[in-house]
């Protein structure tokens, strides 16, 4: 019986080892499903210096101002201009927004999530306490400790939805009005 045990053991080891290795080697973050996301196909992406009438609140994409909002982990305490923020989405940023009445400790948790290629601002008109937005995708949330926040950030910061891969989140030096 001894050889049988060794052989079966070896086979199982190979099987488990092989599948562990293959899972490890191909963790494809782009294919991760995140429950609750709404997707919109956005085709308009021209530079305009006029106000844009966006369908979604906050907007998920569309025409935008030539100047993007700095989105390198920036935390804005006041609402920002949609037309600038949408340009940041085009550059691959995730925009975290919250209703101003959200509890202070919830806001603190959110602030801790804002790193490169993301930015945060209050958004009084939005319907859900917290919203995560990237170009063409949006996720409404109730609580800052929802594990989907990290999933969304992992998938969409410079993710496959980015219309302009490689674009920077740094502000234009010297700014522009």
Give CA–CA dist 164/31, Å, rounded: 20
Please state the closest distance from residue 52 (CB atom) to another protein, in A.
15
Give CA–CA dist 14/127, Å, rounded: 52
- Work out the number of other CB atoms within 10 angstroms of the CB of residue 133: 27
| Displacement of CA 25 from its chain's centroid (Å) | 23
- Work out the number of other CB atoms within 10 angstroms of the CB of residue 17: 10
Structure tokens at 79: 């609402």
**CB-based burial label for 129 (10 Å; 0-12, 13-18, 19+):** middle
In this complex, which beta carbon is closest to another protein, that of residue 74 or of residue 164? 164
In this complex, which beta carbon is closest to another protein, that of residue 87 or of residue 98? 87
Please state the closest distance from residue 143 (CB atom) to another protein, in A.
33
Please state the closest distance from residue 169 (CB atom) to another protein, in A.
9
Of the chain, the end-to-end C-alpha distance in Å amounts to 82
Please state the closest distance from residue 156 (CB atom) to another protein, in A.
14
Q: What is the largest CA-CA distance in the chain?
A: 82
Chain residues that interact with another protein, rule: CB under 8 A: 2-4, 6-8, 10-15, 17-19, 21-26, 45-47, 66-68, 160, 162-168, 170, 172-177
In this complex, which beta carbon is closest to another protein, that of residue 9 or of residue 36? 9
Please state the closest distance from residue 130 (CB atom) to another protein, in A.
29
- Work out the number of other CB atoms within 10 angstroms of the CB of residue 56: 16
In this complex, which beta carbon is closest to another protein, that of residue 25 or of residue 35? 25
In this complex, which beta carbon is closest to another protein, that of residue 128 or of residue 168? 168
């Amino acid at each position: 019986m001894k050889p049988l045990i060794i052989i079966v053991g070896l086979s199982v080891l190979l099987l488990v080892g092989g599948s562990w290795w293959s899972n490890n080697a191909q963790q494809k973050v782009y294919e991760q499903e995140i429950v609750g996301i709404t997707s919109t196909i956005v085709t308009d992406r021209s530079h305009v210096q006029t106000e844009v009438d966006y369908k979604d609140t906050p907007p998920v994409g569309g025409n935008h101002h030539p100047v993007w909002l700095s989105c390198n982990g920036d935390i804005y305490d006041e609402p920002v201009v949609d037309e600038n923020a949408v340009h940041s989405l085009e550059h691959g940023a995730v925009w975290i927004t919250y209703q101003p009445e959200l509890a202070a400790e919830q806001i603190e948790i959110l602030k801790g999530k804002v790193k490169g290629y993301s930015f945060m601002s209050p958004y009084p008109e939005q319907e859900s306490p917290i919203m995560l937005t990237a170009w063409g995708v949006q996720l409404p949330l109730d609580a800052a400790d929802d594990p989907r926040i990290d999933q969304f950030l992992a998938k969409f910061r410079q993710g496959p939805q980015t219309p302009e891969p490689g674009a920077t989140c740094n502000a234009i030096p010297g700014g522009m009005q």
